[in-house]
Amino acid sequence: MTYRTDVANLQDFKTGTFAGDAWGETDTRFLYGAFNALSLLGYLDLVDVEKAVQYIMACENIDGGFGTSPGAESHSGQVFTCVGALAIAGRLDLIDADRLGGWLSERQLPNGGLNGRPEKLEDSCYGWWVMSSMAMIKRLHWIDRDKMIEFILGCQVFLLLSLYPCLHTLLTCLLVLQDPENGGFSDRPEDMVDVFHTVFSITGLSLLKYPGLVDVDPV
C-alpha cells in the first residue's frame, strides 16, 4: 500500500473528516494534515473534498472561529487548520472574513502578543497560528504590526534562574540576552527559548514582512 492511499484511507466517508491514525481519533488537525500532504503530492482527488469541506464548516462557531469538532470551542490553532484546509480546497469563499478577522484581531493583547483564545496568555507561536489565518483571509492589517514585532523580538530575552538556592536572589534579578549567533525565541519574554517557538516566531515575523526574511506561504 502506498503512502498516498494510506493517508486517503484515513478519511471517514460518512463525516468527511480524517483520523490521525489507525485507532480512529478525529480532529481538524488531521484533516488539514491530510489535505496538505495529498495536495503537495497531487493526490487530493483520492478523497471526498466536498464532504471534508462540509465537516469543516460544521466546526465553525458563532464567533467566526473554528474548533476541533462541531460544537467545540474556537481556538486559533484550529482556525489555522480549518482555514488552511479550505484554502487548499479552494473554498475560502465560505468564510465570513470580517467576522473571523474580528475574532482573530481580538487575540492581540495590550503588550502586542497574541493568544489562542479569550482570557489566555499571549504566546509567540500564535504569531503563526493567528496571523497565517488572517493572511489567508486578507485581514492581517487588522492587528498592530509594530507591537507584534516588538513582542516577538522581546521573546529573545529570557530570565536566568538559579538551580542553587544560595544564588537565587542574585540570579533572579539577572536578565541575559540570548546569544545572537545561536539565536532562539521563547513563548513570551523572560522564558527559556526552544525550537518550537523559534520556528513560529520566525514565520510570524516573515508574515509581517520583517526585513531580511523570505516570504512564507501562510497555507
Cell numbers placing 104: 482573530
Query: Over the stretch 31-88, which tens digit does the pLDDT of each residue have?
Result: 999 999 999 999 999 999 999 999 999 999 999 999 999 999 999 999 999 999 999 9
Which regions of the chain are under pLDDT 50? 1, 159-179
Q: Helix, strand, or coil here: 194?
A: strand
* Closest among 21, 75, 32 to 55, alpha carbons compared: 32
The pTM for the full model equals: 0.85
Sequence-ordered list of residues with C-beta below 8 angstroms from that of 32, at least 6 positions apart, any chain: 80, 81, 82, 84, 85
